[in-house]
Amino acid sequence: MVVKVFCLVLGFALLAIARIYERFEDLPVVKYDYVIVGAGTAGNVLANRLTENAKVQVLVIEAGPSDEGVLAATAPFLAPKLTPNTPYDWNYTVVPQIGLNNRTYAQPRGRLLGGSSSANFLLHQFGSSDDYDRLARITGDVGWSWSKMKKYIFKHEKIVPPTDNHNTSGQYVPANHGTIGMVSVSLRGFFETIDAKVIAASKELSSEFPHLPDGATPENILGLGWAQQTVGGGVRSSSSTSYLRNANTRPNLSVLIKTQVIKLINTGSENGRPAFRGVEFATGPSQPVNFVFAKKEVILSAGSIGTPRILLLSGIGPRDDLAKVGIQIHIDNPSVGDNLSDHVLIPNVFEVRGNASLDGLQRDPAQLQSALDEWTASKTGVIANSRSSHIGFFRLPKNSTLFLTTADPASGPKAAHWEMIVSNFWNNPSTPLPPTGNFLSLTAVLISPTSRGSVKLASADPFDKPLINPKMVTTEFDKFAVREAVRAVKRFAAAKAWSDYVIGPYGSLAGTSDAEIDSHVRQGSSSIHHPLGTAAISSADARKGVVDQNLKVKGAMGLRVVDASVWPFLPSAHTQGPTYLVAERAADIVILDSQVISADYLHL
Ligand SMILES: Cc1cc2nc3c(=O)[nH]c(=O)nc-3n(C[C@H](O)[C@H](O)[C@H](O)COP(=O)(O)OP(=O)(O)OC[C@H]3O[C@@H](n4cnc5c(N)ncnc54)[C@H](O)[C@@H]3O)c2cc1C
Ligand SMILES: *[C@@H]1O[C@H](CO)[C@@H](O)[C@H](O)[C@H]1NC(C)=O
Ligand SMILES: *[C@@H]1O[C@H](CO)[C@@H](O)[C@H](O)[C@H]1NC(C)=O
Ligand SMILES: *[C@@H]1O[C@H](CO)[C@@H](O)[C@H](O)[C@H]1NC(C)=O
Ligand SMILES: *[C@@H]1O[C@H](CO)[C@@H](O)[C@H](O)[C@H]1NC(C)=O
Ligand SMILES: *[C@@H]1O[C@H](CO)[C@@H](O)[C@H](O)[C@H]1NC(C)=O
Ligand SMILES: *[C@@H]1O[C@H](CO)[C@@H](O)[C@H](O)[C@H]1NC(C)=O
Ligand SMILES: *[C@@H]1O[C@H](CO)[C@@H](O)[C@H](O)[C@H]1NC(C)=O
């Protein structure tokens, strides 16, 4: 039975959010310096950092509603109830995937304050130091290198005790973490029956699955560690509950919600380039269209689907594609919406003995209710946990035959090819939980895919959903890597430590030949919802790419992109951490730029 909890609201009042407007007419009459599109993960970082200066006026426009009082956006274990296809989702699906038996799947994106940081599954890391050094090489800007980016962890992150206050010694290394940042991060506050077995299996197979002293910290991600989650005091910590709520008493910050930006306004030519210092918006199809201008800049933080969508609707993108849907071209740039890249999720479920897994909780509304009651009363218990106890990042063996013919796509030797996520229940988004049985899931994720896809417009209608095609598992590297990742999780499940627990692989996971594993991958895989690359950063003089090393849209004036879409490749991490770090540095770049009397806004 599906418990529709997303629509329930919390029975207690959270801190009231001020200066959140639902009607354009109610906004204060001021000239905004910056208009930020999207109050999501990155947008709220900018909203906060830019308004630290009381002289700066910022307007944030968000399509979705407030996250306040939305239970599934607050109770960590209930995260999967918030999306897909709810009032808090953009309800996107991908086009049929040739590499996955032509199946489609949902591609949820948070559509509420906090964006996907209010809707994600709360796992938190930053990627490998190699990822940032690669970003520095690609952009020619040493400011993106790990040694320069590291400091932003301490601005961003606030490690707090787990909600059960257990002794965390040996589970993370405090020196690696921030304690005074914005987003609360904690270890899990509820031990599960499999935790000791995971550690034992890791120790037993330590050459392949070593146990890490601290989750996945950028200089040391290869191995298995206790999952860290964006949870404080047993509740979700999002960009809304942290960056935005910390700034929302500032008179210079206004947030307009339930309002969708339709397109940018070309505000004329500066230095021979079109400027885009205005945005058009409406509350829905066939509703009145309003507009607002920014004195300094418009900053797109609408996410990896939303940002290319707005750029394309504004005539910034591939000339031929825009002509096909009848949109007037302003800047011909084939990279807009191109190179969409996403982490592939391959569900691997094992049947287990006993009834101590969390499958009973998911089947039985009474059990779920009693867990919810405990969480409501004290913010403890299983509902305070994210969906996975341990995660690990790994590489393919150096002598893999594939590397004889194919270059290694990882950012460097410290970055990963694949990930394993341990869950104490049936974790298979493409197949519903069977009515009986208990399960262990060792979900494999392809971390360094070489498949690249695209986001394109279906029509010129701004409310029409775009065509999203990540081209999942279509390259030789991807096919090889996912097959070997499935073989590796089966080796992990075969550890002696599991012998009295794991019965064996479930369903199509049982096959052992290349063909059988490929079939298992094609019939079950989907996305772990980390799309990016659609407004990729590159050096100022590179022909490809959408934004330069300072995140300014190439060929345009007064327009920047700051969100996950600027990552030109997938980092070795779930993508909220890397998005937060990019946004923290972006805020510094924008502030620095505004202090220079730049040609960009001399005319104002
Ligand atoms: C279901 C799910 C699970 C995930 N699990 C994890 C996880 O466990 N750990 C992890 O690290 N990452 C996870 N991710 C990924 C991570 O959350 C995202 O990569 C990251 O939050 C993206 O940040 P962003 O700022 O680019 O976009 P978002 O946070 O999505 O923000 C974009 C914002 O812009 C708004 N917007 C878009 N278009 C418009 C428009 N036209 N007008 C006005 N507003 C607009 C959106 O409503 C949204 O609020 C998950 C994502 C999802 C969806
Ligand atoms: C910012 O807010 C302060 C306090 O309300 C106000 O005095 C000031 O005029 C505002 N800044 C701008 C640029 O409007
Ligand atoms: C997504 O689907 C839900 C449920 O049908 C609906 O309430 C919501 O309005 C839809 N959102 C969008 C952006 O279409
Ligand atoms: C998927 O669709 C393509 C193009 O329509 C077709 O060529 C292919 O045979 C299909 N594959 C499967 C497994 O159905
Ligand atoms: C936590 O555990 C460690 C290692 O077992 C021990 O040294 C330390 O004293 C414990 N701390 C507390 C506060 O109990
Ligand atoms: C689990 O099994 C035990 C022993 O058979 C039984 O007492 C208990 O009620 C079961 N619990 C659930 C949740 O089914
Ligand atoms: C790679 O090396 C390992 C360990 O030395 C060995 O067991 C394996 O067979 C080798 N694989 C290939 C493809 O050579
Ligand atoms: C897009 O991907 C291709 C292939 O990986 C790469 O060569 C190109 O540089 C990428 N473009 C951008 C803008 O990053």
**Does residue 364 line the site of ligand 6, with CB under 6 A?**
no
Q: Return the amino acid letter for 96.
A: P
- Length of the chain equals 604
Instruction: Give the separation between CA 122 and CA 99, rounded to whole angstroms.
Output: 28
Pocket residues for ligand 3 (CB within 6 Å)?
Answer: 85-87, 89-91, 111
Distance 184 CA to ligand 6 centre (A): 36
**Does residue 254 line the site of ligand 2, with CB under 6 A?**
no
pTM for this model (two decimals)? 0.95
Strands (E), 56-127: 58-61
* φ and ψ at residue 49, rounded to 5 degrees: -65, -40
pLDDT of 595: 82
- Closest atom of ligand 1 relative to the 83 alpha carbon: 1
Mean pLDDT of 53-70: 96
Mean pLDDT of 293-307: 98
Mean pLDDT of 553-579: 98
* φ and ψ at residue 305, rounded to 5 degrees: -100, -45
| Protein residue with its CA nearest to atom 4 in ligand 4 | 98
**Does residue 360 line the site of ligand 6, with CB under 6 A?**
yes
Instruction: Give the separation between CA 54 and CA 52, rounded to whole angstroms.
Output: 6
The rounded mean pLDDT for the chain is 94
Q: Which residues pair with 338 in a beta bridge?
A: 454
Residue 229 in tokens? 């989650």
- Closest atom of ligand 8 relative to the 546 alpha carbon: 13
Q: Kindly state the DSSP code that residue 96 receives in the 8-state scheme.
A: P
pLDDT of 18: 52
Give the confidence band of 407 by pLDDT, cuts at 50, 70, 90.
very high
Distance 257 CA to ligand 3 centre (A): 16
SS3 content of the chain, % helix, strand, coil (to 5): 30, 20, 50
Instruction: Give the separation between CA 522 and CA 341, rounded to whole angstroms.
Output: 18
* φ and ψ at residue 93, rounded to 5 degrees: -130, 155
pLDDT of 319: 98
Tens of pLDDT, residue by residue over 194-241, are: 999 999 999 999 999 999 999 999 999 999 999 999 999 999 999 999
The packing angle between helices 41-50 and 576-595, to 10°, is 30
| Protein residue with its CA nearest to atom 2 in ligand 7 | 399
**Does residue 513 line the site of ligand 7, with CB under 6 A?**
no
**Does residue 13 line the site of ligand 2, with CB under 6 A?**
no
Nearest Cα neighbor of 150 from 438, 592, 577 is 577
Tens of pLDDT, residue by residue over 87-98, are: 999 999 999 999
b/e per residue 253-276 (b: at least 16 CB within 10 A): bbbbbbbbbbbbbbbeebeebbbb
Residue 208 in tokens? 């392949």
DSSP collapsed to 3 states, 508-530: HHHCCCHHHHHHHHHHHCEECCC
Tens of pLDDT, residue by residue over 456-499, are: 999 999 999 999 999 999 999 999 999 999 999 999 999 999 99
| Protein residue with its CA nearest to atom 7 in ligand 4 | 98
What are 398-401's contacts with CB under 8 Å, separation 24+? 400/480, 400/484
Distance 514 CA to ligand 7 centre (A): 17
Q: Kindly state the DSSP code that residue 176 receives in the 8-state scheme.
A: G
- Closest atom of ligand 7 relative to the 398 alpha carbon: 1
Residue 238 in tokens? 């999002």
Name the residue of 4, 86, 116, 260 whose CB sits within 8 Å of the most ligand 3 atoms, as the mutation to test its pocket.
86
Tens of pLDDT, residue by residue over 337-351, are: 999 999 999 999 999
Nearest Cα neighbor of 417 from 433, 402, 437, 435 is 402
Mean pLDDT of 287-314: 98
Active site residue 530: yes
Nearest Cα neighbor of 354 from 437, 442, 441 is 437
pLDDT of 601: 46
Distance 113 CA to ligand 1 centre (A): 10
* φ and ψ at residue 122, rounded to 5 degrees: 70, 0
Nearest Cα neighbor of 188 from 380, 378, 385, 379 is 385
First to last CA, the chain: 59
Instruction: Give the separation between CA 328 and CA 274, rounded to whole angstroms.
Output: 13
Q: Which residues pair with 224 in a beta bridge?
A: 211, 392
Pairing of strands 157-159, 183-187: parallel
pLDDT of 12: 36
Among the bound ligands, name the one nearest to the CA of residue 448.
Answer: 8
Distance 403 CA to ligand 7 centre (A): 13
Tens of pLDDT, residue by residue over 98-156, are: 999 999 999 999 999 999 999 999 999 999 999 999 999 999 999 999 999 999 999 99
**Does residue 595 line the site of ligand 6, with CB under 6 A?**
no
Instruction: Give the separation between CA 267 and CA 263, rounded to whole angstroms.
Output: 12
Name the residue of 98, 469, 474, 523 whose CB sits within 8 Å of the most ligand 4 atoms, as the mutation to test its pocket.
98
Binding site listing for FAD: 261
pLDDT of 9: 41
Distance 339 CA to ligand 8 centre (A): 6
Among the bound ligands, name the one nearest to the CA of residue 104.
Answer: 4
Catalytic residue among 124, 417, 530, 603: 530
Please confirm whether the linkage preceding 397 is cis (ω < 30° from 0): no
**Does residue 98 line the site of ligand 4, with CB under 6 A?**
yes
**Does residue 207 line the site of ligand 7, with CB under 6 A?**
no
Distance 84 CA to ligand 3 centre (A): 9
